[in-house]
Amino acid sequence: MASVISDLNAGPGDIRRQVNLFLQGSTGSGPVSIDALSSSALFLLRAVPVARHAVLEHYAMSFDDAINTFLSFQDGAGGNMKEPESVHMSALQDVTGVLLSFIKSNPEAWAPVVSSWALSLLGQISSKYAAKRGIQHATSLNEVLQMWMACPPAQMLIEITTECFAAMVGGAPDMCVDALLEASVRYSPHFDWVVAHIGSCFPRTIITRVLNCGLKDFCSSGVDGQDKDMGGGGGGRNKVPKMASVVGILGHLASKHSQDIRKALMSLFEASVRSDSVSNKVTTLPFLLQLASMSDMLLRILTTDLVAALKPPVLNQLHRQFTRWKHAAPAEYNSFLNLVVHLIAKSNSGAYDIINFIICTAAPQGVGQGEVAQEEVRDTCVEIMHILLFELQRGVLSRKMDSSPTDIPLLAGLASQTDRLTSMLLSSEGKRVPWLQKLLTFTALQAGESCAANVLTSILFQARTPQQLGVFYRLKQGVELGMPGIAQSALVRVFSRLESPSSAGPSAGHSGASPSSMTLTALKNLERVVIVESSKVKRKLLSSSTIIECLRTRHAAMCDFLLSPHPAVSLSALRLIDMVGFPDDLSVTLLTQLCGAVTLAFFASLHQRSQTTEHIKSARMTQLCMSCIEQLSRLPSTRSLLIHYLVEAVVQKEHIHLFGGRWSPSTFASASTPAVASVNDNVSLMEENRQQSLSIARPRFHSSVYHGGIIRQSVKAHSAGKVVPKELVSRNCLTFIETLWLCCRELNRPGQVLDSASGGSEPGEEAMETDQSATAKGTSGYVISESCARTLGCAVVEMLTLDSLYNDVNWQDPDFRRVTTERDTMVWKRVEELPVLLSVIQEFSSSCVFLYYASPVLRSLMAVVMNQLEVSREKLMSGCPKHHEVAVKLVYCLTKGFLIVPPLSNVAELFPFVSPYEGYLLLLTLWHYIKDNPPSEFESEVKRRTCDNSHTFVVHSILHSNIAHMGHLCPRIFNM
């Protein structure tokens, strides 16, 4: 401070002496040391203001020498600065301190002068030493800035410049910014690091001024606003250095001031829309797009903010601004469109928003009350869309031939938005559809198999109409060019989503649909796909279908859909299984699951038939179940499973009423159902026994033993059976028997005799009705398989008998039936409560194998009928209608299975005319015959049997004793 005061109070002699000393040192005319010259320069700077330009010029040379020395050492040995240079550095530090003090004390006078000097010096030095090795090899503006800031002399100049700007930006911002930009224009691009550093200190001011400077330069490249190259053509090549400077400065500021850049860009665009200047109107948007083409950061900003700002009113305003230029320079306008397409293809972030904007503008759909883009604007967007699709197609197809393919950023951005694109495609119409199809195809081809599979999966889950599903075929056809196995991958993805807890994945939540509806949609679409694939195979357009083959590996998943609580889902899954069929290599575990699931679906369809009025839909489900059962029965080891499942299910409490049966706990106690229900459920048996233990035990009294309750304390609980119409019961029984027939039938082998009843008496009307399906099947060339007949016979016996104690197929002496009375009565009750099983016996009794294994049931039924007829006091056997009907059916079954032969097979015609006891004698005769000729599994053996006179004696006797009213039957009984 004392030195400053002394300099200001110096006399003329001191000033003259310091001027001479400065002149001698600066010109080299005299021996002046560096310290003396520096002191003299500082003296003149403080005391003689008019000498400041000469002093600053001297210090400019000093800064230049110091920077040169520093950069030379950096490029060479890279060591620290030596002693001689430390003298220069001390002098530079002194002048820096003096200038900073001048700026702080009197900014109005010193800041403009010093800033102009410092900026000019920085520009000269940056240009002069740009070829230095360290700076020349810098790859970015950040690296250049760091290298210059590592140089102490340059750092001092930047500090001085920044202080000048801090002093001036509040009062005269235009002056300081214009000086900075003038230097930037003069020394660009080597001066950009200075602008970037100062811009980081004053971001808003510098960013706006840099953009305006770049726009001004962009506008002034031609004679007027219409003579420029808007698309980066020839004129654009001349502007590249200046544009690169603007991009570099903004790129440096983007890390910390991206929001300021965003606001400045959009303010520039909005100002151009409202501007009265023709040049600004036409050039601002191309200028912004040119910047975006040179910087990914600026491109990201423009793709988010600019697209959002391009509303129909703005687009119409731009159209009015660009019309004159479009007609005056069509080539430049086309170049501008190509630049737009190029930028769209480069856009990764906001890719969906860009595509949505172009498509909605080009082909509006469901437009509201707001302003709509003009027709010329829509045509322009259509043109952009066509050019874009062409470029994308060329880029995607070139990837197949290129050894090192490069991804297209737009498609990479769309890969994560395929669900939204798919939803948009399915809800679109007109020109939108082919555009979106191509976009999805190109996106899938670039993104890979996972993305392609996700696209096809989304369509299968969202398509509601055949027209929408047609998109699936077209996309599949396009994607298969690059991914032949995409259909299989898509189906794997479909079932993975179906098997998930949500049953639909993200699409379901997005659309608001329930999981069951999404599952139903997917299954129905798979049905349509299989129908199309099957027709192509039949027409020999395809040798085989990958989709059908893949679905054949998904039977485990479709089993779960068969058991769905939603009937529509079960029906759709059933149709799909029926169309796909069953491969021969299914595992035993999966076959078991399939048999069980199809059986449950079969009975569910019968329930649906009895509960709803939609008989056509329920009948369709029943037919599909029967078709699946028929296909399953062709596979090994499935027939016995199906037969067991069907027979076991028909006797279950849930299904028994469908076939005219009724549930009785007493007769079905073996099915783990309680036989009785206590009247008072609150009574504890343990408490009852504790009370009994307190009393005195007396002989022959119930308290002396375990107390099991009091007689008559509990009553049978009869469930109120569901009432099913008789015609529906008959239809259900016929359906069940036909289903069993599908499981048991096999083609008639050469030489094998088809089943037919041997002549004689006509069976009852009901028996004839139940035999109609068998007759139809028999005449079509099918017979009952021996193995299936064996399985079915055992299953029927198992369902109708309590145990296997008396299940011997041979018939004992008739008197032995007194030993099995209780067992026979239980079988009779079960048959009464399960009439469908008696119909099954009638239907399959033509098989001697089935009759062989079902013989215990027939024996029990005959025993009950004989016991009743033996003690009956009715005048005619027909007076016991139940037993008379069963007796007719028994004779019919025994006749079909060749267990009895004529004339015994015709005795049923005598039953309406005989007394109960005579009927008993006739059945006793049959019993004796069967006892003497036991049932056999071999058809050839049973067909050779004959009946001698010893077994027809009773028949002759009864006919003779009743010749008056049964004489007309003799020719029929004995085949006269």
Is there a contact between 678 and 751 (Cβ–Cβ < 8 Å)? Answer: no
Confidence at residue 111, expressed as pLDDT on a 0 to 100 scale: 82
- pLDDT score of 482: 84
Phi-psi map region of 719: left, alpha, beta (phi>0 left; psi -120 to 50 alpha): beta
CA distance 253 to 435: 39
The pair of structure tokens assigned to 966 is 């049964």
Among candidates 547, 549, 664, 568, which has minimal Cα distance to 612? 568
The pLDDT of residue 28 is 62
**Which tokens belong to 308?**
């959002």
Residue 858 pLDDT level (bands cut at 50, 70, 90): very high
- pLDDT tier at 86 (50, 70, 90 boundaries)? low
User: Which carries the bigger pLDDT value, residue 620 or residue 27?
Assistant: 620
pLDDT for residue 501: 58
Give mean pLDDT, residues 108-119: 85
pLDDT tops 60 at residue 506: no
Please give the distance of CA 942 from its chain centroid, rounded to a whole number.
62
What tokens were used for 191? 């001066």
44 HSE (CA, 13 A, CB side): 24
- The mean pLDDT of 111-115, rounded to a whole number, is 84
Those residues whose C-beta lies under 8 Å from the C-beta of residue 358, and which sit 6 or more positions away, are 344, 381, 384, 385, 388
Amino acid residing at 153: P
Residue at token pair 């423009």:
302
Q: What is the pLDDT of residues 675-703, one digit of tens each?
A: 333 344 455 666 666 655 554 444 444 44
Q: Give the H or E element holding residue 661.
A: none
Whether 647 and 799 have beta carbons less than 8 Å apart is answered as yes
What is the rounded distance in angstroms from the CA atom of residue 217 to the CA atom of residue 519? 61
Please check whether residue 907 is in contact with residue 761, taking contact to mean a CB–CB distance below 8 angstroms.
yes
User: What tokens does 606 get?
Assistant: 């019968």
Q: Could you give the residue ranges of the DSSP H alpha helices within 834-880? A: 835-844, 848-853, 855-871
Gap between the Cα atoms of 606 and 615, Å rounded = 10
Q: Report the chain's mean pLDDT, rounded to a whole number.
A: 79
The residue among 445, 463, 566 whose CA lies nearest residue 507 is 463
Please give the pLDDT value at position 763: 38
Give the pLDDT score at 792. 93
The pLDDT of residue 8? 52
- Distance in angstroms (rounded) separating the CA atoms of residues 497 and 355: 28
Query: Please, which residues have CB within 8 angstroms of residue 945's CB and are 6 or more apart in sequence?
Result: 898, 901, 933
> What are residue 635's phi and psi, to 5 degrees?
-85, 155
In one letter, which amino acid is 344? I
Burial (Cβ within 10 Å: 0-12, 13-18, ≥19) of residue 916: buried
Q: Which residues of 830-844 are buried (b: 16+ CB within 10 A; e: fewer)?
A: bbebbbbbbbbbbbb
Banded pLDDT at 928 (limits 50, 70, 90)? very high
Length of the chain: 976
- Non-local (6+) Cβ contacts of 789 within 8 A are 744, 844, 847, 849, 850, 853
383 pLDDT tier (thresholds 50, 70, 90): very high
Q: Evaluate if residue 819 carries a pLDDT over 70.
A: yes
Residue 118 confidence (pLDDT) above 70: yes
What would the mean pLDDT of 349-369 be, rounded to a whole number? 84
Q: Give the per-residue pLDDT at 237.
A: 38
Give pLDDT tens digits for 458-479.
Answer: 999 999 998 899 999 999 988 9
- Do 688 and 705 contact (CB within 8 A), yes or no? no
Q: What angle do CA 574, 632, 746 make, to 5 degrees?
A: 135
495: amino acid identity, one letter: F
- Distances, alpha carbon 551 to alpha carbons 486, 527, 530, 542, 746, in Å: 14, 11, 9, 17, 28
DSSP H helices in 329-374: 330-346, 351-362
pLDDT confidence of 146, banded at 50, 70, 90? confident
How far, in whole angstroms, is CA 351 from its chain's centroid?
22
pLDDT above 60: residue 160:
yes
pLDDT at residue 11, as a whole number: 60
Distances (CA, A) of 474 to 81, 371, 478, 511, 540: 73, 35, 6, 23, 20
**According to the model, what pLDDT value does residue 420 have?**
92
For the segment 20-56, what is each residue's pLDDT rounded down to a tens digit? 777 766 666 666 666 677 777 777 777 777 777 888 8
- What pLDDT score does 44 carry? 79
pLDDT at 1 (0 to 100): 40
Helix (H, G, I), strand (E, B) or coil at 783: strand
Minimum mean pLDDT among 4-18, 359-373, 609-623: which range?
4-18
Give the pLDDT confidence score for residue 518 in this predicted structure: 87
Residue 373 · residue 434 · CB < 8 Å: no
Close Cβ partners of 5 (under 8 Å, ≥ 6 residues apart): none
pLDDT of 367 > 80? The answer is no
Q: What are phi and psi of 928, to 5 degrees?
A: -60, -40
Q: pLDDT value at position 888?
A: 93
Looking at residue 439, what is its pLDDT? 94
- Compute the distance between CA of residue 593 and CA of residue 603 in angstroms, rounded to an integer: 16
Which of 45-49, 207-211, 854-858, 963-967 holds the top average pLDDT? 854-858
Structure confidence at residue 965 (pLDDT)? 79
The pLDDT value given to residue 271: 83
pLDDT exceeds 70 at position 158? yes
8-state DSSP, 554: -
The pLDDT of residue 890 is 93
Cα 90 to Cα 95: distance, rounded to the nearest angstrom = 9
| Structure tokens given for 171 | 């009062």
- What lies within 8 Å, CB to CB, of 700 at 6+ separation is none
Which pLDDT belongs to residue 2? Answer: 39
Residue 98 or 244, more confident = 98
- What pLDDT score does 99 carry? 85
Q: What is the mean pLDDT of residues 438-461?
A: 91
Lowest mean pLDDT among 169-183, 401-415, 920-934: 169-183
Is-contact 836 736, C-beta < 8 A?
A: yes
Q: Phi/psi of residue 198, each to 5°?
A: -65, -35
Contact 432, 386 (CB under 8 A): no
Tell me the per-residue pLDDT of 933-973, one tens digit each, with 9 for 90 and over.
888 888 888 888 888 888 888 888 888 888 877 778 787 77
pTM over 0.85: no
Q: Judge contact between 761 and 903, C-beta under 8 A.
A: no
Predicted local distance difference test score (pLDDT) of residue 613: 61
The yes-or-no verdict on residue 540 having pLDDT over 90 is: no
- Contact indicator for 797, 834 with CB cutoff of 8 Å: no
Structure token digits, residue 769: 């009705």
In sequence order, the 6+-apart residues with CB closer than 8 A to the CB of 768 are: 762
**Burial class of residue 722 in the structure, from the number of CB atoms within 10 Å of its CB (0-12 exposed, 13-18 middle, 19+ buried):** middle
Instruction: Choose between 900 and 26: higher pLDDT.
Output: 900
